Amino acid sequence: MTPPPVERHTGLGRGLEALIPQTTQAGAAPIEIPISRIRGNPYQPRQKVEQKALESLAASIAIHGVIQPVLVTEVLDGYQLVAGERRVRAAQLAGLDHVPAVVRQLTERDQLAVAIVENVQRADLNAMEEAHAYRQLADEFKLTQDEIAARVGRARSTIANTLRLLELEQPVQQALADGNIAEGHARALAGATPAAQRQLVETVMVRGLSVRQTEELVRRLRDRPPIQSKIATDSDANMDRLEEDLRRALGTKVSLARSRKGGRIVIEYYSDEEFSRLFDRLTGGIS
């Protein structure tokens, strides 16, 4: 007896199969459509495509053709691309006029969800592109984090952690988007103040720090007392010592008060005789 096939799960849970009905109904089979009639996907989460990777894919398509159909939805003046932007662009680069496509009618939110899932499964999105895509699902389509997680097949905690990247300072976000730091670096820098984030990200890139080294750097900075507080503490200690020295020298209560441009010394006396004694001591007995 032939054993039943083993069910395999992708790292994205439901994946594309759950978002796109896999049926054999009429129109389900791929058809060849003109590239000239395909409009770009306004919900494409990927913000840039590596030119070398595109050229490599075009070279493969020139020999083997487009093996996996793209996904489109029908619109009044043709088709709108849902998934497969790189394949369409590479096919154009290879000189093709038509590409195989599966036509599906999808809601706008499902178009974005499908585009996210396909790009994440192919590791085509960087962390910041994922974060912006999830934010778009939340803001434009009013989806909760639980709903986003269900649509893209990821844990809610993953969605929440990715969205937190949008709270980082812009230089950190840019470094992450450009691939100059890893997501672990960015999460470590999130523990620093906004001003410190802008400084530390440069240090991380220039020195090539690991994620663990970055975490330690942020921890040391966070635990270090502020410079102004240290100065104030040292200054207060010096003032106390000076007051005590003056009390001993003059034999009466002396108060010191520092101001922005100087300060004042208050010497107290409690009788005319004590005033005369302090006067003589301060002036050296000269009258």
Active site residues: 85
The Cα-based distances of 63 to 30, 50, 66 in angstroms read: 20, 21, 9
Sequence-separated (6 or more) residues with CB below 8 Å from residue 61:
87, 90, 91, 94, 96
